[in-house]
Amino acid sequence: MELNDANLQTLTEFLRKTLDPDPTVRRPAEKFLESVEGNQNYPLLLLTLLEKSQENVIRVCAAVTFKNYIKRNWRIVEDEPNKISDADRTAIKANIVNLMLSSPEQIQKQLSDAISIIGREDFPQKWPDLLTEMVTRFRSGDFHIINGVLRTAHSLFKRYRHEFKSNELWTEIKLVLDTFALPLTELFKATIELCQTHANDVNALKVLFSSLTLISKLFYSLNFQDLPEFFEDNMETWMTNFHGLLTLDNKLLQTDDEEEAGLLELLKSQICDNAALYAQKYDEEFQPYLPRFVTAIWNLLVSTGQEVKYDLLVSNAIQFLASVCERPHYKHLFEDQNTLTSICEKVIVPNMEFRSADEEAFEDNSEEYIRRDLEGSDIDTRRRAACDLVRGLCKFFEGPVTAIFSGYVNSMLSEYAKNPGQNWKHKDAAIYLVTSLASKAQTQKHGITQANELVNLTEFFVNHILPDLKSSNVNEFPVLKADAIKYVMIFRSKLPKEQLLQAVPLLITHLQAESTVEHTYAAHALERLFTMRGPNNATLITSAEMAPFTELLLTNLFKALSLPGSAENEYIMKAIMRSFSLLQEAIVPYIPTLIGQLTHKLLLVSKNPSKPHFNHYLFESLCLSVRITCKANPTTVSSFEEALFPVFTEILQNDVQEFLPYVFQVMSLLLEIHSNSIPASYMALFPHLLQPVLWERTGNIPPLVRLLQAFLEKGGASIAASAADKIPGLLGVFQKLIASKANDHQGFYLLNSIIENMPPESITQYRKQIFILLFQRLQSSKTTKFIKSFLVFINLYCVKYGAIALQEIFDSIQPKMFGMVLEKIIIPEVQKVSGTVEKKICAVGITKILTECPAMMDTEYTKLWTPLLQALIGLFELPEDDSIPDDEHFIDIEDTPGYQTAFSQLAFAGRKEHDPIGDAVGNPKILLAQSLHKLSTACPGRVPSMLNTSLNAEALKFLQGYLQGASVQLV
C-alpha cells in the first residue's frame, strides 16, 4: 500500500464504517481492515491519519485501530506469519515517541499503550534509545509532554510488579534505574517546588498533581522487585516529600463530585501503597520513617468521610495498617487495649457499613457488585480492606479483637431485632464482621479452610442465617438474603452436612428472587455445594439426596435465565452445568424440553457473543446433555443432531469465530457416538473442514483435528470410496501442521488416524512423500516433542503395515536409511516416549522390527539388533527420560498473541483415550518373549548367541523374566 492520498481516503472511509452500529456495514469493514493489515505501510497510513486527519473521530479511531494492530502483530511468533515488515517496524519506532508526545491526551493514551506493547518485546535490546529519548523530554518544562513520558514509562515498567525474578529482568531494571532514577528524582523535587510556587493556580495544580501521581506509581514499580541502591540513598528525599504530600490539604484541589476520586485522593492512595510496600518488604530501612507514616495515615483515616470518592484512599490506607500490624516487630504499636478499641471503633466498624452507594450498586449495577463482592476483585473496597485489617490484627491479638467485636455484633443484632425494616443494615454489618473474624484462610475451591476457634459458626448459622433463608418472601430484604446465601457458600467446609442439605431447597427457592445479586448468589452457592467432596472422593451431596428437588432445581435455574439482567448470567449457566453433572441420568426425562431451551439460548448469544464464561458453560451443558442421554440410549444422538445442526450451520455460515472451536468439539462428540458409519449430514461438511482459512486460527486447530479423527475413525473406508479427491487436502492439513513447532503434535494425531483407519491402498501413492516431509522437518528443526511423536508414528506404521514395509520405505528414500533411523533416532530416543498407549505402540512396533524383519538378521543392520532390544527393555524397565535440551523452548498455544479466542477445551466433551492396538496385545513384554521364541525356532541358535555376546547382564535378567512369564524358551 503506497503512502498516498487515495489510500488515506480509502482507509478513512473504512474506519468510519467500523463505527457504524449496523453489523452489515461494520463487519465487512472490519474484515477489509483485517485483510490489508499484512500490507507494507498499513501501520504508517494509520499513523498519518491519527496525526493529520481533519476529523477528530477518525484520528481517535485510527489510534485505537493502530494500538490493536500492534497488540495483535508486533510479537514475532515462530511458525506464524510476521505481518509487520522490518521497514515498518523501524519507521514506527523512529516516530511514535514524538507523535505520542505531540498528540492530544485521548490519542496520547493509545500511543502510550502501543509503545509499552512494543517495549515489552523490543526494549532494551532492539530499542536501546527509547529511554534516553524519553528522559530528555523531562527538560522541556512542558507538562503535557512530561506527563506523556511519565504515562508511557508507567505502562512500560508496571510489569515489574508481577514478573518473576530473572537475570534478564534484573539487567533491564538496572539499565532503567541507571538512566531513569536520577532524572525522576530531580523531576519529583522540581514538581513539588512548582506546587508551592503555583499553590493558588488551580489549573497548574491539576497538571502538577497528575504528574506527582504518575511519579509515585513509577516509584512503586521501580522499587517492587528489590530496594535499589539509588532509592535507598535518596530515601530521605522521597519519604519526607511523600509524608508532606500525605498531610497536605489544598482546598483548591477538593472536588464536589462524591463519586469520582480527585487528584488529591489518587495521589495519597498511591503514597499509602508505596509506604505499605516499604513497610512490608524493606522494613529495616524504612523503620525510621514508619511511626510518622502510621500517625499520618491514622489521622487521614479518622478524618476522611464516607463518600465513594475516598474509597480507594481509605482502602489503601487501611491496607497499609493491615500490612504493618502483621509484622512481628511493629506489634508493640498495637498492643495497648485502647489502641485496639480505637482501631475497631474508628476504622473497622465504620468501613464495614453498607452505605447508600453500596445499596445503589446492589440494585442498579449488580454485575459490578457481584464482581467486587464474590470474585474478590473488591481489593480496593473499604469492606475488603477492613476485613484484611481484622485478619491482620487477629494474628497477634485474636482474643482481645474477638472480644471487642463480639460486643459490636451483639449490639448490632439487637438493634436489628428492635426494628428489622428500619435497621436491616445493622444485621448486614454484623454478618460481615462475623465473616471477617471467623475466616483465617480461604480458597476458591473449598471456601473457608481455617476458622477462628472463638466464633461458633454453626450456632450463628442456626440463629441468624437460617431464619433469613426460610423467610417466606424471597424478595424482602434482598441484601440480607444475599448475605445469608454468601455465608453458606463461604463456610460450606465448616458447616455440618445436614445443615447444607437443609439449605439446598431454600437456595433453590431463592433462584426465583427478583434481585439479580440474590438469585446469582443462590445459583453460585448451589454450584459450589455440588462440587464438594465427601468421604471416598464422591460428591458430598448425592444425586439420590437431590431426587426430591430435581425438578424444581432445573425449572428454577432455567427460569432464572429469563429474569431481567440475567439473560447471560454465567453463574446460573455454571450451576446448570454442575447440576447436570451431579444428577447424571436423573436429568434424562427433562432433556427433551431443556435441550430446546439451550439451543434457543445458543442461537441468541451467537448473534453477538459477549460473555465468554457464559458461552463456555452453555456448551459444557450441551455436551453433558448429549453424553448422559446417549450413554443411556445411543440412538437418541439423532434427536440431538436435529436440534443442534440448524444452529451450528448458522454459526459456521456467519463465521462466529469465538464459537467455532466449541461447535467442532460438540460435533466430534456426536459423531463419536455413531456406530461405524458417517451420516450424510456430516459427509456434506467434510470438504469445508479442509479449507485453509479455518486452519489459520490457532484456536480451531485442536478441535478440528479431533473432528477429522472422528471422521476417519467412523468412516475411513467411505472417505476413500466417495471422497478420494479430498485425501490430498487432508494431507495438506497434515503438512501445514507438521511445519509448526507449536502444532506438530496435532499433525501427528491426524497422520496416525489416517494410517490407522484409511484402507492401505488409498494412501499408497502418498506414503513416500509423507516420510520425506517428516525427514525435512527433522533436519530443519528437531525438537523433543517432534521426536516423541515421530517415534510413535513409525512404530504405528510398523504395527499396521509390518516391519518389512517400514524397512523398505526408509530404504527406498535413501539406501541404508533404515539403519540410520534405528541408530540415530529409535535406539537413543525411545526412552523419551511418554504415555501408556504411546509406549505400548512403540513396544509392539520395535518387537516387530526385531522379530519380523529379515534384514535385521542377515545384513549390516544385524549389529543394531542387540542395541535395539536393549533399548526396548529400557523402555519397559527404566524411568522415563523427561529431560529437555536447554536451547529448546516449547511455545505454548495459549501464548500466541492477538485477539483470537485461544482454544477452550470443553471438559465434558472429552475424548476417551484411544488404543489402536487394543486387546490384540495385552502385555507387550509377553509379546516380546513369544515373538523372540518364534524367531529362535525359525533360526535356531542365532538368538541366544546374539544375546549372550552383547546384551548387558541386567537387561538379560529382565528378558529371562519375560520368557518365564510367557512360559517359552529360546532355542
Q: Could you write out the three-class secondary structure of 427-448?
A: HHHHHHHHHHHHEEEEECCCEE
Q: Which three cell numbers stand for residue 1?
A: 500500500
Nearest to 704 by CA among 674, 647, 735, 666: 666
Q: Which long-range contacts (CB under 8 A, 24 or more apart) does 849-853 make?
A: 849/798, 849/803, 849/806, 849/807, 849/822, 850/928, 850/931, 850/932, 850/935, 851/931, 851/932, 851/934, 851/935, 852/802, 852/803, 852/804, 852/931, 853/803, 853/804, 853/806, 853/807
Check pLDDT > 60 for residue 887.
no
Q: Average the pLDDT over 903-925 and give the result.
A: 86
DSSP 227: -
Check pLDDT > 80 for residue 303.
yes
Q: Give the lowest-confidence range in 63-72, 880-889, 894-903.
A: 894-903
What average pLDDT is seen over the chain? Answer: 92
pLDDT for 701? 95
Q: What angle do CA 909, 915, 916 make, to 5 degrees?
A: 120
pLDDT tens-digit readout, 97-116: 999 999 998 999 999 999 99
pLDDT for 971? 87
Q: Average the pLDDT over 176-201 and give the result.
A: 95
Residue 935: other Cβ atoms inside 10 A: 18
Residue 2: other Cβ atoms inside 10 A: 11
Q: What gap in Å lies between CA 171 and CA 509, rounded to an integer?
A: 59
CA distances from 383 to 110, 163, 280, 784, 954 (A): 34, 29, 21, 51, 67
Q: Which three cell numbers stand for residue 643?
A: 436440534
Which amino acid would we find at residue 148? G
Residue 85: other Cβ atoms inside 10 A: 15
pLDDT for 376? 63
Taking each helix axis as running N to C, give the angle between helix 42-52 and helix 5-18, from 0 to 180 degrees, rounded to the nearest 10: 80
HSE (CB half, 13 Å, CA atoms) of 220? 24
* Secondary structure (3-state) at 169: helix
530-542 in b/e form (b: 16+ CB < 10 A) is bebeeeeeebbbe
Q: Which three cell numbers stand for residue 369?
A: 457488585
pLDDT for 884? 66
Q: Which residue has the higher pLDDT, 73 or 899?
A: 73
Q: List the domain boundaries for the chain.
A: 1-97, 334-455
Q: Do 526 and 504 form a contact (C-beta atoms < 8 A)? A: yes
Q: What angle do CA 756, 760, 761 make, to 5 degrees?
A: 155
Can you state the percent helix, strand and coil of the chain, rounding each to 5? 75, 0, 20
Q: Average the pLDDT over 233-246 and give the result.
A: 97
pLDDT for 950? 84
Residue 440: other Cβ atoms inside 10 A: 15
Q: Do 501 and 545 form a contact (C-beta atoms < 8 A)? A: yes
Grid cell 528378558 — which residue?
959
pLDDT tens-digit readout, 10-49: 999 999 999 999 888 998 999 999 899 999 999 999 999 9
Q: Which residue has the higher pLDDT, 372 or 411?
A: 411
Check pLDDT > 60 for residue 58.
yes
- The kind and range of the H/E element at 385 are helix 382-418
pLDDT for 892? 32
423 class by beta-carbon count within 10 Å (0-12 exposed, 13-18 middle, 19+ buried): middle
pLDDT for 445? 67
Q: What gap in Å lies between CA 546 and CA 532, rounded to an integer?
A: 14
Q: Which three cell numbers stand for residue 794?
A: 513409525
* Secondary structure (3-state) at 399: helix
* Secondary structure (3-state) at 450: strand
* Position 451 confidence tier, pLDDT thresholds 50, 70, 90: confident
* Position 890 confidence tier, pLDDT thresholds 50, 70, 90: very low
Nearest to 613 by CA among 568, 582, 657: 568
* Position 442 confidence tier, pLDDT thresholds 50, 70, 90: low
Q: What gap in Å lies between CA 313 and CA 383, rounded to an integer?
A: 13
pLDDT for 453? 74
Q: Which three cell numbers stand for residue 622?
A: 450441551
Which amino acid would we find at residue 842? C
Check pLDDT > 50 for residue 891.
no
HSE (CB half, 13 Å, CA atoms) of 255? 15
Q: Give the lowest-confidence range in 276-285, 365-374, 625-634, 640-649.
A: 365-374
At residue 538, φ and ψ (nearest 5 deg) are -80, 170
* Secondary structure (3-state) at 539: strand
pLDDT tens-digit readout, 665-707: 999 999 999 987 899 999 999 999 999 989 988 899 999 999 9
Determine the distance from the C-alpha atom of residue 25 to the mean position of all C-alpha atoms in its chain, rounded to a whole number.
33
Q: Which three cell numbers stand for residue 595?
A: 435441550
Q: What gap in Å lies between CA 188 and CA 211, rounded to an integer?
A: 9
Check pLDDT > 60 for residue 896.
no
Q: Which residue has the higher pLDDT, 858 or 826?
A: 826
Check pLDDT > 50 for residue 77.
yes
742 class by beta-carbon count within 10 Å (0-12 exposed, 13-18 middle, 19+ buried): buried
Q: Which three cell numbers stand for residue 581?
A: 453433572
* Position 479 confidence tier, pLDDT thresholds 50, 70, 90: very high
At residue 202, φ and ψ (nearest 5 deg) are -65, -40
Q: Give the lowest-confidence range in 90-104, 432-446, 738-752, 791-805.
A: 432-446
Nearest to 937 by CA among 970, 904, 914, 908: 970
HSE (CB half, 13 Å, CA atoms) of 580? 28
Check pLDDT > 60 for residue 733.
yes
Q: Which three cell numbers stand for residue 65?
A: 485501530
Say whether the peptide bond before residue 400 is cis (omega within 30 degrees of 0): no
pLDDT tens-digit readout, 736-787: 999 998 899 999 999 999 999 999 999 999 999 999 999 999 998 889 999 9
Q: Which long-range contacts (CB under 8 A, 24 or more apart) does 289-292 make?
A: 289/235, 289/239, 289/243, 290/324, 290/330, 291/333, 292/243
Q: Do 290 and 235 form a contact (C-beta atoms < 8 A)? A: no
Radius of gyration of the chain (CA): 34
Percent of the chain with pLDDT over 90: 78
pLDDT for 330? 86
* Region at 956 (left for phi over 0; alpha for psi -120 to 50; beta for the rest): alpha
- Show the DSSP H helices in 587-689 as ranges: 591-606, 612-632, 637-653, 660-673, 680-685
Q: Do 285 and 235 form a contact (C-beta atoms < 8 A)? A: yes
The three state secondary structure string of 712-773 is HHHHHHHHHHHCHHHHHHHHHHHHHHHCCCCCHHHHHHHHHHHHHHCCHHHHHHHHHHHHHH
CA distances from 652 to 607, 647, 664, 898 (A): 12, 9, 10, 22
Q: Which long-range contacts (CB under 8 A, 24 or more apart) does 495-503 make?
A: 495/457, 495/458, 495/461, 496/458, 497/534, 497/540, 497/541, 499/458, 499/461, 499/462, 499/466, 500/529, 500/532, 500/540, 500/541, 501/541, 501/545, 502/466, 503/466, 503/469, 503/529
pLDDT for 365? 93
**Which residues are bridge partners to 442 per DSSP?**
448
Determine the distance from the C-alpha atom of residue 567 to the mean position of all C-alpha atoms in its chain, rounded to a whole number.
24
pTM of the model: 0.83
Check pLDDT > 90 for residue 636.
yes
Q: Average the pLDDT over 880-894 and give the result.
A: 53
Q: Do 920 and 926 form a contact (C-beta atoms < 8 A)? A: no
Check pLDDT > 90 for residue 342.
yes
* Position 441 confidence tier, pLDDT thresholds 50, 70, 90: low
